[in-house]
Amino acid sequence: MKNMPIEALQEVAAYFQILSEPTRLLILNLLRGTERNVGELAELCGFTAANISRHLAMLTKHGFLAREGRGTSVYYRVADESVYELCDLVCCNIACQYERTAKNRSAFTRVQ
């Protein structure tokens, strides 16, 4: 991000904003290594097909997903697998933070 113009930083922020919604992260996890249609994703997520369709449209619009029509169904798959590397990095970072916090809290517990 060093020396990037504000317009580029706005694009980066928009990218992360798409990933800031838990339902969209769940959808990306459910599409890891496979493809699914709206009905399958709605059932697995426990949301309505309309709700999932809105998320799928946003993920597709921003290049995270690709879609392919087959008969009466549309199937979605991840278009850029690098999103998983980013998410795995963030998850690892959060896990490390929790671990450090737990160790710090345990220093203040009273030994009986």
CATH number at residue 72: 1.10.10.10
Give domain status of residue 112, yes or no. no
How many independent structural domains does the chain possess?
1
Range of the domain at 55: 6-106
Beta-bridge mates of residue 97? none
Query: What confidence score (pLDDT) does residue 1 get?
Result: 77
Give domain status of residue 40, yes or no. yes
**Cα distance between residue 63 and residue 78, in whole Å:** 9
Per-residue pLDDT tens listing for the chain (112 residues) = 789 999 999 999 999 999 999 999 999 999 999 999 999 999 999 999 999 999 999 999 999 999 999 999 999 999 999 999 999 999 999 999 988 888 777 766 666 5
Query: What confidence score (pLDDT) does residue 13 get?
Result: 94
Query: What confidence score (pLDDT) does residue 111 get?
Result: 60
Q: What is the pTM of this model?
A: 0.82
